[in-house]
């Protein structure tokens, strides 16, 4: 497979699958430009070569045509970010679209309408895929956020381009970042897994036990582990049907020489509220009527020592209910430790919706090595799955 840099796009039309599934406010203005900014380096390279760009993406989960989810509301923001006029065509397949794309001059950019207005997109329909393929000479997939979907524009369309296909710069960086953690990372490798449920992280845990030296567990799933070992967790969240699984994970980790670190103390509250009464409790001695909602000070100092001694760090999931100020300290402190380790030369990858949201909320995005743009795709990569959108380019 040839990288983007090896293609000369002069006089060529690039069909670029981007992930412009951006949030819109009540007036249909773009609230967060991150995903558009992320695609800019790829688009710039094509335009600088003297090529033209046809952009395609999905937006939301429409059922048929839905003006609220039309890219007509997004195209002005794309023009602003790219610093060039972006034309818009109110469809993504058909004769009119083919005519407009064929007349697209060098250095010009065209945005297609929402791919998911057609149910054929999510079905991976062959005819729909072939119709899309007529809109470009070279196919570039730069949409990591949808690489885990076997949709027409992400997986099926690629086969109509032979060897004239490649990853965009963003997708290539995502693959490289995950490989640094899973394959080539300098040791010691530490994974920090947070979130509420063991069940949602079990596939990741099982896959990364062969790759990491340390596994820090935080968030709600801590209490399933503590309960499994006979601890008292009060009213804390717990998956009672996963107690055996938690013990099995600890056993497997020991067999593989992986050190698992659970909190020793937690910030407990008498209600799930910013106005709750709080106290610090030992993690296995939480009183009835109280629930653990953040990491305690002793825990954070232990986590800090592990993180600062690490050379490769994966952060997937917060260690507390950071959306409430009163329980945000643990997640903020964790961000500081990872930033400090990164400044000392460690490689740090942050991925998964909640941890990415925390990193943005507390302004750590420029203090870690890489923040993944793809929630589900990132998680499936960590589970060891080959993503359809990536396989389609490699085939």
pLDDT digits (tens, 9 = 90+) for 186-244: 999 999 999 888 888 888 898 899 999 999 999 999 999 999 999 999 999 999 999 99
Same domain, 119 and 240: no
Q: Is 197 a catalytic residue?
A: yes
Catalytic pick among 353, 367, 384, 385 = 353
Edge-first strand order for the sheet with 370-371 is 259-261, 214-217, 189-193, 312-316, 347-350, 370-371
Residue range(s) defining the domain that contains residue 13: 4-167
Same domain, 94 and 240: no
pLDDT of residue 29: 95
Catalytic pick among 35, 108, 169, 227 = 35
Alpha-carbon Rg of the chain, whole angstroms?
Answer: 23
The answer to whether residue 394 is domain-embedded is no
Q: 261: part of which helix (H) or strand (E)?
A: strand 259-261
Q: Is 211 a catalytic residue?
A: no
CB contact at 8 A, 372 and 34: no
Which of 262, 253, 282 is CA-nearest to residue 219? Answer: 262
Edge-first strand order for the sheet with 86-88 is 86-88, 109-111, 52-56, 13-17, 138-141, 165-167
pLDDT of residue 24: 94
The answer to whether residue 52 is domain-embedded is yes
Catalytic pick among 40, 87, 106, 197 = 197
Same domain, 158 and 187: no
pTM: 0.87
Q: Tell me how far CA of residue 340 lies from CA of 184, 297, 304, 329, in angstroms.
A: 21, 18, 10, 16
Please give the annotated binding residues for ATP, written as ranges.
201, 323, 352-355
The answer to whether residue 24 is domain-embedded is yes
- Mark which of 134, 167, 200 sits at the end of a domain: 167
Same domain, 351 and 280: yes
Same domain, 133 and 185: no
Which of 177, 168, 126 is CA-nearest to residue 146? Answer: 168
E-strand spans in 129-222?
138-141, 165-167, 189-193, 214-217
How many domains does one find in the chain?
2
Please give the annotated binding residues, written as ranges.
19-21, 35, 58-61, 116, 149, 201, 323, 352-355
Catalytic pick among 376, 384, 385, 391 = 376
Q: Tell me how far CA of residue 39 lies from CA of 43, 54, 135, 139, 140, in angstroms.
A: 7, 13, 19, 15, 11
CB contact at 8 A, 190 and 314: yes
Same domain, 153 and 222: no
The answer to whether residue 12 is domain-embedded is yes
Q: Is 376 a catalytic residue?
A: yes
Same domain, 81 and 194: no
Please give the annotated binding residues for substrate, written as ranges.
19-21, 58-61
Same domain, 70 and 181: no
Q: Is 124 a catalytic residue?
A: no
182 Ramachandran zone, left/alpha/beta (phi>0; psi -120 to 50): alpha
pLDDT of residue 150: 92
**What residues in the chain have per-residue pLDDT under 70?**
353
pLDDT of residue 353: 63
pLDDT of residue 2: 81
Please give the annotated binding residues for (2R)-3-phosphoglycerate, written as ranges.
35, 116, 149
The answer to whether residue 230 is domain-embedded is yes
């Amino acid at each position: 497979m040839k990288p983007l840099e090896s293609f000369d796009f002069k006089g060529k039309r690039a069909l670029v699958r981007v992930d412009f599934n951006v949030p819109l406010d009540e007036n249909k203005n773009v609230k967060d430009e991150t995903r558009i900014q992320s695609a800019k380096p790829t688009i710039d390279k094509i335009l600088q070569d003297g090529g033209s760009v046809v952009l395609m993406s999905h937006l939301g989960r429409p059922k048929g045509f839905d003006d609220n989810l039309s890219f007509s509301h997004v195209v002005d923001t794309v023009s602003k970010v790219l610093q060039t006029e972006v034309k818009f065509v109110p469809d993504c397949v058909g004769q009119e679209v083919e005519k407009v794309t064929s007349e697209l001059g060098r250095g010009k950019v065209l945005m297609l309408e929402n791919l998911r207005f057609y149910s054929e997109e999510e079905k991976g329909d062959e005819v729909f895929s072939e119709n899309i393929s007529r809109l470009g000479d070279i196919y570039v997939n730069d949409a990591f956020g949808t690489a885990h979907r076997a949709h027409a524009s992400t997986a099926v369309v690629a086969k109509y381009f032979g060897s004239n296909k490649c990853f965009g710069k963003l997708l290539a960086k995502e693959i490289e970042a995950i490989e640094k953690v899973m394959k080539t990372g300098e040791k010691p490798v530490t994974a920090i897994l947070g979130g509420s449920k063991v069940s949602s992280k079990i596939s990741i845990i099982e896959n990364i036990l062969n790759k990491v030296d340390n596994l820090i567990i935080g968030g709600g799933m801590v209490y399933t582990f503590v309960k499994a070992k006979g601890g008292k967790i009060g009213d804390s969240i717990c998956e009672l049907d996963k107690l055996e699984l938690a013990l099995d994970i600890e056993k497997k980790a020991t067999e593989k020489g992986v050190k698992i670190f659970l909190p020793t103390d937690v910030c407990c509250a008498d209600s799930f509220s910013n106005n709750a009464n709080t106290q610090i409790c030992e993690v296995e001695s939480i009183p009835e009527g109280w629930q653990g909602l953040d990491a305690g000070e002793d825990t954070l100092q232990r986590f800090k020592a592990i993180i600062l001694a690490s050379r490769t760090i994966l952060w997937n999931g917060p260690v507390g209910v950071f959306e409430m100020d009163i329980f945000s300290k643990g997640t903020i402190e964790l961000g500081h430790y990872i930033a400090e380790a990164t400044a000392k030369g460690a490689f740090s990858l942050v991925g998964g919706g909640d941890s990415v949201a925390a990193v943005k909320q507390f302004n750590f995005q420029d203090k870690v090595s890489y923040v993944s743009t793809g929630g589900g795709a990132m998680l499936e990569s960590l589970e060891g799955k080959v993503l359809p959108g990536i396989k389609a380019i490699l085939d």
